[in-house]
């Protein structure tokens, strides 16, 4: 006899209420009784590569200060992990070219496969961080590059004193120097926050394996473009342009910029004009339904990857393109022992 059936029979015998329609509520209740849910903070972001090349990255310091004070134990970023990049390289090479770093130089330099580099890196990471030597950190940098995890390679490299950072093969050193100058949220926020916090890595949790090319790509493109030609989308794009210009000219602070991007009103425009419009769209090839299936599958897999990072209770910050945030919040909010942090409150200094 199953445990659930036994509990149900005992409850009925005692005259208690019937089990809930959603049986997972039993798990929710028991997790609540334990009383120590794992905090998870979802920070929606504009893709920072769109900022001018000369944008001063020290302007992100107030945001990094706020996130550092929240003290995550793990950081998830919007990037595809090495094993899926290897899959894309073999099966969907055009997506590999678009989304994945090339691990070949590091694998050649080390004489290792991605799997071998992963095994060695995980063994090194079992040692206490305080006991990790400079040669070990440099080795980890090279191993992370061979794994297809350049942001984590950068984290290790930046934790090495500047005078010792050059003790790597020249081509790998060049890759790290290029990533150190990269203007995107995975580096400016994810990697640099990890260094501040003394973390060893960040976690790539994106997914593109759900992509499938439409049978009639030309028709799909026309239909989805028409679906997105709506008032909420136009208003959202206009708001973004106004906010971005104000950030660049200095009349809007970095924290206020992020508060606006993460505000429910702005997120609602994205849901209505993008995914809501796709869900409601009724076109000859059903482009909206195809797009929504891809988007929801991608977000489900991304959140599954984050759930794996959280594991038994790792306080986690997830940094992701802002249109993903409502889906992250919904799916992570379904987990029995996870508690979503109030992003607006943290950006406002209220938590």
pLDDT in tens, 157-168: 999 999 999 999
Distance between CA atoms of residues 222 and 97, nearest Å: 25
> Which of 64, 82, 80 has the alpha carbon at shortest distance from 72?
64
Q: Under DSSP, is residue 334 helix (H, G, I), strand (E, B) or coil? A: coil
Distance between CA atoms of residues 294 and 301, nearest Å: 11
Instruction: Give the CA distances from residue 252 to residues 43, 47, 92, 317, in Å, rounded to whole numbers and listed in that order.
Output: 18, 17, 41, 24
pLDDT in tens, 165-180: 999 999 999 999 999 9
Distance between CA atoms of residues 4 and 97, nearest Å: 49
Radius of gyration of the chain (CA): 23
Q: What is the mean pLDDT of residues 252-276?
A: 97
Percent above pLDDT 70 for the chain: 95
Q: Phi/psi of residue 339, each to 5°?
A: -120, 120
Q: What is the mean pLDDT of residues 216-220?
A: 92
Assess whether pLDDT exceeds 70 at residue 2.
Answer: no
Q: What is the mean pLDDT of residues 51-57?
A: 94
Report the half-sphere exposure of 121 (CA within 13 A, side-chain side): 26
- pLDDT value, residue 213: 81
More reliable by pLDDT, 210 or 62: 62
Assess whether pLDDT exceeds 80 at residue 351.
Answer: no
> Which of 325, 173, 341 has the alpha carbon at shortest distance from 263?
325
pLDDT in tens, 94-151: 999 999 999 999 999 999 999 999 999 999 999 888 788 999 999 999 999 999 999 9
Q: Exposed, middle or buried: residue 92 (CB in 10 Å: 0-12, 13-18, 19+)?
A: middle
More reliable by pLDDT, 12 or 176: 176
- pLDDT value, residue 5: 55
Q: Under DSSP, is residue 276 helix (H, G, I), strand (E, B) or coil? A: helix
Q: How confident is the model at residue 8 (pLDDT cuts 50, 70, 90)?
A: low
Q: What is the mean pLDDT of residues 229-249?
A: 97
> Which of 40, 72, 309 has the alpha carbon at shortest distance from 196?
72
Instruction: Give the CA distances from residue 177 to residues 55, 119, 122, 174, in Å, rounded to whole numbers and listed in that order.
Output: 18, 25, 24, 5
Q: What is the mean pLDDT of residues 181-194?
A: 95
- pLDDT value, residue 182: 85
As a whole number, the mean pLDDT across the chain is 93
> Which of 273, 287, 284, 296 has the alpha carbon at shortest distance from 224?
287
Distance between CA atoms of residues 176 and 254, nearest Å: 26
pLDDT in tens, 197-213: 999 999 999 999 888 88
Q: How confident is the model at residue 214 (pLDDT cuts 50, 70, 90)?
A: confident
Assess whether pLDDT exceeds 60 at residue 241.
Answer: yes
- pLDDT value, residue 130: 79
The β-bridge partners of 226 are none
Question: Helical H runs in the chain?
Answer: 3-13, 24-34, 61-70, 82-91, 93-99, 104-110, 114-125, 134-147, 150-158, 170-180, 185, 192-197, 217-227, 231-249, 254-261, 264-270, 277-280, 287-310, 325-333, 343-347
Distance between CA atoms of residues 46 and 261, nearest Å: 8
Q: How confident is the model at residue 1 (pLDDT cuts 50, 70, 90)?
A: very low
Q: How confident is the model at residue 284 (pLDDT cuts 50, 70, 90)?
A: very high
């Amino acid at each position: 006899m199953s445990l659930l059936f036994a509990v149900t029979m005992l409850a009925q015998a005692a005259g208690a209420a019937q089990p809930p329609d959603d049986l997972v509520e039993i798990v929710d209740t028991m997790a609540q009784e334990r009383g120590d849910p794992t905090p998870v903070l979802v920070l929606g972001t504009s893709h920072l590569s769109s900022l001018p090349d000369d944008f001063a990255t020290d302007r992100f310091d107030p945001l990094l200060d706020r996130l550092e004070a929240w003290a995550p134990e793990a950081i998830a970023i919007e990037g595809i992990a090495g094993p899926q990049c290897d899959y894309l390289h073999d099966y969907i090479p055009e997506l590999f070219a678009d989304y994945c770093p090339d691990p070949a130089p590091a694998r050649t330099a080390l004489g290792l496969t991605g799997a071998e580099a992963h095994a060695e890196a995980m063994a090194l990471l079992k040692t206490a961080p305080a006991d990790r030597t400079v040669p070990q950190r440099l080795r980890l940098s090279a191993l992370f590059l061979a794994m297809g995890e350049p942001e984590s390679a950068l984290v290790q490299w930046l934790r090495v004193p500047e005078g010792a950072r050059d003790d790597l093969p020249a081509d790998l050193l060049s890759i790290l120097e290029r990533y150190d100058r990269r203007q995107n949220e995975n580096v400016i926020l994810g990697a640099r926050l990890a260094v501040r916090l003394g973390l060893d890595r960040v976690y790539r949790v994106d997914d593109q394996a759900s992509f499938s090319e439409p049978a009639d790509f030309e028709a799909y493109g026309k239909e989805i473009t028409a679906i997105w030609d709506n008032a909420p989308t136009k208003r959202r794009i206009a708001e973004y342009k106004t906010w971005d210009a104000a950030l660049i000219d200095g009349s809007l602070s970095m924290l206020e910029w992020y508060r606006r991007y993460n505000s429910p009103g702005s997120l609602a425009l994205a849901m209505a004009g993008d995914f809501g419009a796709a869900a409601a769209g009724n076109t000859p090839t059903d482009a909206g339904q195809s797009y929504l299936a891809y988007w929801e599958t991608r977000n489900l897999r991304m959140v599954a990857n984050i759930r794996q990072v959280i594991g038994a209770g790792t306080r986690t910050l997830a940094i992701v393109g802002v249109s993903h945030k409502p889906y992250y919040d919904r799916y992570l909010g379904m987990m029995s022992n996870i508690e979503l942090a109030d992003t607006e409150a943290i950006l406002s200094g209220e938590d």
